[in-house]
Amino acid sequence: MLTAEWTPELTQWLRTLALEAGFDTAGIAPVSDPTSPRSSERLTAERFSSWIAAGRAGEMDYLKRRDDSGILLRSEVRAAIPWARSVIVCAFNYNTTAPLSTDPAPNSTGWIARYAWSGRQIPDINAYNPEHPTQLQPSDYHEDLLHRLRHIETALQQRTRCETRCYVDTGPLVERAAAAQAGIGWIGKNTCVLDQRLGSWLLLGVIITSLPVASDALPQIAADRCGTCTRCIDACPTSALIAPHEMDASLCIAYLTIEKKGTIPEHLREPIGRQVFGCDICQDVCPWNRRAPVNQTMLARPQLINPALDWLAGMDAADFKRWFKGSPLERTRRARLQRNVAIAMGNSGEQGFLPQLRQWAASGDPVLAEAAEWSIHRIAKLSAELSP
C-alpha cells in the first residue's frame, strides 16, 4: 500500500532500515513553510543568513550561493527543492579506540582529523599493491554514506513512491539544524550535533523527501545537555567558538587547514599547533565523548594517527595519490598539505626539520616558501626561548 505521509509505523520502519544500512541512529525532520514567521525553517534561515552576512564563512563561497531571488540556497530547503516536506537524517558513528589529539604524542608528529582516517579492505587480493604498506585503501565518508543512503532511498521509493534526494554535505540545507529538528541530538556549544549515548563523533547523511510528517509522528527534540560546561570554548586554540553554539569558521583550524587557499594569516599559525588536516580538539575535550561507543566496522589506517611530519613532508605526487586519492585529504591536495606540514614543523620547534624547511623555502612555490620561512624563524625563536 502506498503511504502519503510519515506515520509512526513508517517512521519505525525507516529507523530499522537505517540501522540495517549501518547507521547508528536516524530521525525525520518536518520541513515547514519557511514564510511562516515562527517555523524552525525561518529560524535556521535567519541564523544562517546573519552568519554569512557577518563574514563567518571566510572564503567558503559555496555556502554563499543564492537563487535568482537572492535567497541563500543553503538556508532554506524549499527554496531549492519546492516539493521538500521532510528530511531523513541518518548519523554514522566514526569513533575508534585510537588516541585523542589532546593526548601526549611525539613532538615530531602531526594530527589528521579522525573522520579522515578511514580505509576499506581491498576486495580483490590480486589488486593488492605491494608498494602500498597497508591492506587498507583510502575511503571517504561522503561516498560511503551516500551508498548507505541509496539503499534506504530505494526501499522508501518502492514503499511510498515519494520524491527523494540524497546528500552528504552538498545539499541545500544546514544538516546540523535538520539533525536537531529530527531529534538526532542537540547542538553543542562547539556547534556539533551530540547524542547523549553516541557522543558527537557522528557524520550525517540526509534524504530530502516529499512526504509530510503526520502530527502524531513528530520527532522528540533532544534536550540541550551542555549545562554550564564550556570546555570546548576554553580549549579552542584559535578562539573560533566566539559564543556558545556559534563559530567564526574563518578562525577554525579545520577551515584554515582544509578549505583556506593561499597563505594562512600569520597570527593564526602558532595556535594551529600540529594540526595538518582538520581539528578534533573541541570534540576531544567534550565529556559526552568519553564513553562514546566505538564503531567496530570503522577501519582506521594506523599510519594516519599521529602521522610523522617528515613522512608527510617526504611524499612525492605518486605517494600522495597512493595514500590519499579517494580520501578526504584529496580535497586539500598535496601543496596545501605541505603548507600545513611546514607550519606544524615550525610549531614543533624541532631543529631536525630545518633541512626540509630550507628546501621548501627555496622551492619557488610562494605559499610554501613563505610558510617554511615563517617556520624556520619559529624554530629559532623556540630554541632561543629554551636556551639558558
Q: Cβ of residue 271: shortest distance to ligand SF4, in angstroms?
A: 8
Pick what 281 binds: ligand SF4, ligand B12, none; C-beta below 5 to 8 Å, kind-dependent. Answer: ligand SF4
Q: Which of 234, 219, 216, 146 is nearest to 186 (CA)?
A: 219
For the chain, counts of helices (H) and of strands (E): 14, 12
Residue 111 engages ligand SF4 in binding (rule: CB under 6 A): no
Pick what 375 binds: ligand B12, ligand SF4, none; C-beta below 5 to 8 Å, kind-dependent. Answer: none
Residue 196 engages ligand SF4 in binding (rule: CB under 6 A): no
Q: Of residues 169-188, which lie at the interface with ligand B12 (CB under 6 A)?
A: 169, 171, 174-177, 180-181, 187
Pick what 168 binds: ligand B12, ligand SF4, none; C-beta below 5 to 8 Å, kind-dependent. Answer: ligand B12
Residue 190 engages ligand SF4 in binding (rule: CB under 6 A): yes
Q: Cβ of residue 52: shortest distance to ligand SF4, in angstroms?
A: 18
**Binding piece for ligand SF4, criterion CB under 6 A, among 14-22, 170-178, 235-243, 321-329:** 235-243
Question: Which residue, judged by CB position, is nearest to ligand B12 in the bound state?
Answer: 278
Pick what 174 binds: ligand B12, ligand SF4, none; C-beta below 5 to 8 Å, kind-dependent. Answer: ligand B12
Q: Of residues 36-55, which lie at the interface with ligand B12 (CB under 6 A)?
A: 44, 47-48, 51
Name which position in 14, 80, 113, 376 contacts ligand B12 (CB under 6 A): 113
Give CA–CA dist 194/216, Å, rounded: 25
Q: E-assigned strands of the chain?
A: 25-30, 86-93, 111-112, 119-121, 136-138, 164-167, 186-187, 193-194, 202-209, 241-243, 246-247, 275-277
Give CA–CA dist 67/124, Å, rounded: 45
| Cβ(242)–Cβ(215) below 8 Å | no
Give CA–CA dist 140/33, Å, rounded: 34
Q: Of residues 280-309, which lie at the interface with ligand B12 (CB under 6 A)?
A: 280, 282
| Cβ(117)–Cβ(283) below 8 Å | no
| Cβ(66)–Cβ(74) below 8 Å | no
Pick what 203 binds: ligand B12, ligand SF4, none; C-beta below 5 to 8 Å, kind-dependent. Answer: ligand B12
Coil, strand or helix at 243: strand
Name which position in 28, 168, 342, 372 contacts ligand B12 (CB under 6 A): 168
Q: Which residues contact 336 (CB under 8 A, 6 or more apart)?
A: 257, 261
Q: By C-beta, is 259 or 350 nearer to ligand B12?
A: 259
- Cα torsion 28, 189, 205, 181 to 10°: value is 10
Q: Give the active site residue among 68, 169, 284, 365.
A: 169
Residue 252 engages ligand B12 in binding (rule: CB under 6 A): yes
Give CA–CA dist 178/142, Å, rounded: 18
The interface mask with ligand SF4, positions 286-325, x = CB under 6 A, is xxx-------------------------------------
Name which position in 86, 200, 289, 327 contacts ligand B12 (CB under 6 A): 200
Distances (CA, A) of 30 to 41, 154, 155, 279, 366: 9, 20, 20, 32, 49
| Cβ(222)–Cβ(320) below 8 Å | no
The cell numbers describing 270, all together, are: 602558532
Is 169 annotated in the active site? yes
Looking at the DSSP bridge assignments, the partners of residue 149 are none
Give CA–CA dist 72/339, Å, rounded: 32
Pick what 180 binds: ligand SF4, ligand B12, none; C-beta below 5 to 8 Å, kind-dependent. Answer: ligand B12
Q: Give the Cα-Cα-Cα angle 258, 96, 286 (nearest 5 degrees).
A: 70
Residue 198 engages ligand B12 in binding (rule: CB under 6 A): no
Q: By C-beta, is 32 or 356 nearer to ligand B12?
A: 32
By residue count, the chain amounts to 388
Helix H or strand E segment including 282: helix 281-284
Contact residues toward ligand B12 (CB under 6 A) are: 44, 47-48, 51, 60, 63, 74, 113, 115, 168-169, 171, 174-177, 180-181, 187, 190-193, 200, 202-204, 245, 247, 249, 252, 254-255, 258-259, 278-280, 282
Please give the positions annotated as active site. Answer: 169
Contact residues toward ligand SF4 (CB under 6 A) are: 188-190, 194, 226, 229-232, 236, 238, 240-241, 247, 252-254, 279, 281-282, 285-288
